[in-house]
Amino acid sequence: MDHQKRAHLNILIADAGDLPEQVYPVQAASELSAASMRPESVIARRLTAKALHIFLGRAPSPGELDAEVRPPGGKPYFPAFPDFYYNISHSGSYVVCAVCDHPVGIDLQQIPDQAERAVKIAKRFFSAQEQEALQVLQGRNDTEALCRLFCRYWTARESYIKLTGRGLAEPFENFRPDLEAGVILVLKRDSNDTSAAGSEAGTASTAVTSDTECTAEAFCLSEYPAPAGYCLTVCSTVPLLNEPA
């Protein structure tokens, strides 16, 4: 990571039950023809419009909003605004949008309430160190703390996936989030893997990780305040100016 750079971040949040015009008044023409669009999808579109307003310093036109490209399995983007970095996530009744001047990924998750299921998922996708931390809480019968920590680990992974837009191309078990350090390591088991995270991928650092002796890329993690019962994490290619919660 390039610690000389700092990214400016805005986080927009709305309730899926809000009236769209209360979130942002301008709508894309495509929204008018999508009568079956789910409420959270409508709110996501309006948050994207609001994010574009922040980037442009003016209200975007309906035509500019309709120019959004949504590639299958990839990140949506606006070809006319290549420096406009944004990302959407929704969970439960909330929708969030990250707006940044560097590539960014955001994930919002409702904290689960089934500790046994969380531990079962962790055995498949989490590192031995993460599993141990969860097992300590399980031994204390602290279900609330266990589920919250599981959710923090999970949103760290999802935020990285949202940053790259590569979906499940990189297995969750290859990720090593360090929540205290604000970093996620992505193990590269194939030395020929040259995957990128947007135009800033070159700022991610490489290191040798002790558990597999393979190369790893490091990306920044920041946790932010979320509605009660949720976790919110942002992944970026450079450190954020905003201080984590």
191-240 confidence digits (pLDDT tens)? 454 443 443 443 444 443 445 567 889 999 999 999 999 999 999 999 99
Q: Which residues have a Cβ under 8 Å from the Cβ of 125 and sit 6 or more positions away?
A: 157, 171, 172, 173
174-184 confidence digits (pLDDT tens)? 999 999 999 99
- Domain 108-236 in the same topology as domain 9-106: yes
Per DSSP, the three-state class of 18 is coil
More reliable by pLDDT, 208 or 185: 185
Give the separation between CA 147 and CA 125, rounded to whole angstroms.
Answer: 15
CATH 3.90.470.20 assigned to 9-106: yes
CATH 3.30.530 assigned to 108-236: no
Per DSSP, the three-state class of 99 is strand
| Cβ atoms < 10 Å from Cβ of 193 | 13
127 with 211: CB under 8 angstroms? yes
Mean pLDDT value across the chain: 86
Q: Which residue has the tokens 């309709």?
A: 66
3 with 87: CB under 8 angstroms? no
Between the ranges 56-65, 72-81, 108-117, 205-214, where is the mean pLDDT highest? 108-117
R_g of the chain computed on alpha carbons: 18
Q: Give me the long-range contacts of 54-59 (CB less than 8 A, separation at least 24).
A: 54/10, 54/99, 55/81, 55/84, 55/86, 55/99, 56/81, 59/26
**What are the sequence ranges of the domains in the chain?**
9-106, 108-236
100-157 confidence digits (pLDDT tens)? 999 999 999 999 999 999 999 999 999 999 999 999 999 999 999 999 999 999 999 9
Give mean pLDDT, residues 52-62.
Answer: 94
Given this model, what pLDDT does residue 26 score? 78
Given this model, what pLDDT does residue 198 score? 41
Predicted structure pTM score:
0.86
